[in-house]
Structure 1
Amino acid sequence: MAFERVNVERIVGNCSAETGPCATVSVQAPVVEMASHDAKIRVNSYIVNQVKETFASVANVDVEPIIQQSAQELADSFFAHYEAFTQEFPDSPQRWSVDIKGDVLGNAYSVVTYKMHRETYTGGAHPNHETHYATFNAANGKKLKIGEIVRDTANLNNIAEPYFREAVDIAKDLPLMESGFSFDQNKFQVPNNFGMVQEGIIFHYNPYEIAPYAAGEISFLVPYDALGGAKGIKVTRKKVKTN
């Protein structure tokens, strides 16, 4: 599976000035250029929908009405919304932005992991930001669930919890709620947001998911060895060419 990077960069107003109104759109996202027909359609559809969901959240609308719009059209709508705001509130200069960046992460297995970071600001106390991971079957582009990757899903939370606690620096015997983290019934649970990388599986929580905004985004990695090594992973490893 081969990717090419798509870049959309747009600016309205004088963003080089320290003050004053301006708005920016930046989309940097690799899209599939070469793959099987199904893989190309499935992975690119995921990427496009991620971009459109970002613009839909900024405009406070459902994603369905904008599903047929291109990235350029979505940027046009964002700037129109921004200009309407500045005309209605000329004494409230703001600097709006949409920043989307995608990356393809390497690993030793027959899958492709896509990471997309999205950050938006349309006024308020702080920008909104989140990161999403998705792991796809490289042959057909199917988005994989954790149960299609890890064999021992029954013990996954128990395996992963020590790595989470280490990442956020809390003692192994301290209740999660007392540490400022909110889980159902105060029991640790891995998120559905994950990706396979070279060293293991990254699990990722976005702001407000298990903690206040100030806690930021929280990622932790569970090494493949902790999951049983090659025997604990359902997907096959890439074939290594030898002379």
Structure 2
Amino acid sequence: MKKLLPIFLLLLLTSCSQQLVFERKQYNSSYQNNMASGYNSANIKMEVVEAKNDENINKIIFENIKELSVFIENENLNIKNYDQLTKGFVSTYKKAKNEVPNSSVKSWEFQLESNVEYETEEFVNIGINYFSSYGDKDGFGGKRSLIFNKITGNQLKNKDIFSNLPVVEKIVENKFRTKYKVKNNLSLNDQGYCFENNKFYLTNNVFFTIEGITFLYNINEISSYEKGTFEVHFTYDELDKYLMIK
């Protein structure tokens, strides 16, 4: 018994050391000229969750946040971390302003917050809320879902989450049509939607909550900006037999 006790304690300590833990960090940068507040300023504020002991998860979260920062693509910037991202946002704005001498350039704004939306012993769901404005009137915002296996750190796609995807897709489509009064005798795109190939598809933005599972379609994803977001909610009982993660 004395020999088994140290082994048990070692296993316990190993298990604790491998537990996935997240911490919140802030990354901000700004530029403000003395002119009117609606012009000649750039502000970026990000509050992100980072895993203390899983760099693969951190890398995937960062790459998604970088993808949402469209100014990088326009400037072909080589961004490798959050500090470079915030500084790149401000420097890109200054460059745009300097290219138009003696002219006011409308302010830029980028706000982002990532959170642990839901987690079990098996998986964790990270949500990214974002809003950006590059001088346009209304700006653009949305929410992105990332789901990870807590043991491997790998990102889970729909095929890893649900069995029999065609059936799940049909179930979601039926509830979508009912909620938004979409007629069966007309094509989706003839009713104001813009589904690729005029065919309903399952969004990658799948959010887990205490109440159930939500499928979220962001602004401009399947319809015009003015119509906003679309979402369909299910209880766990409704989709339980198709769930591959618990």
**Alpha-carbon distance in 2 for matches of 1:207, 1:6:** 27
- 5+ long unaligned stretches in structure 1: 35-39, 238-243
Q: Partners in 2 of 1:51 and 1:13 — Cα distance?
A: 24
Query: How many aligned residue pairs are there?
Result: 225
Q: CA offset at residue 138 of structure 1?
A: 1.2
| Correspondence 1:202-221 to 2 at 5 A | 202-221=214-233
Match of 2:92 among 65, 81, 94: 81
Deviates more, 1:15-24 or 1:203-212: 15-24
CA contact (8 A) 2:118 2:125 kept: yes
- Match status 1:60 vs 2:79: no
Distance 2:211 2:35 in 1: 40
Could you give the per-residue CA deviations for residues 119-176 of structure 1, whole angstroms, max 9, x where no partner exists?
A: 2222234323232111111111111122222223231122112332355x32564633
Q: Out of 41, 65, 80, which is 1:22 matched to?
A: 41
**Which letter maps to 2:95?**
A
Which letter does structure 1 place at the counterpart of 2:168?
L
CA distance in 1, matches of 2:195, 2:88: 38
Which protein, 1 or 2, shows the higher relative CO under an 8 Å CA cutoff with sep ≥ 6? Answer: 1
Q: Does structure 1 residue 48 correspond to structure 2 residue 58?
A: no
Q: Aligned with 1:7: secondary structure?
A: strand
Identity rate, percent = 24
Q: Could you tell me how far 1:232 is from its partner in structure 2?
A: 2.8
Question: What's the C-alpha RMSD, in Å, of the aligned pairs?
Answer: 2.6
> Which one-letter code corresponds to 2:71 in the other structure?
V
Question: Aligned partners of 2:149, 2:244: CA distance in 1, in Å?
Answer: 12
TM-score, normalised to structure 1, is 0.80
CA distance in 2, matches of 1:22, 1:166: 45
Between Structure 1 and Structure 2, whose CA radius of gyration is higher?
Answer: 2
Q: TM-score, normalised by structure 2?
A: 0.79
Tell whether the 8 Å contact from 2:125 to 2:148 is kept in structure 1 after alignment. yes
Distance 1:126 1:18 in 2: 16
Q: Is the CA contact 2:146–2:155 (under 8 Å) kept in the aligned structure 1?
A: yes
Closer, same or farther in 2 for the Cα pair 1:182/1:75, shift >3 Å?
same
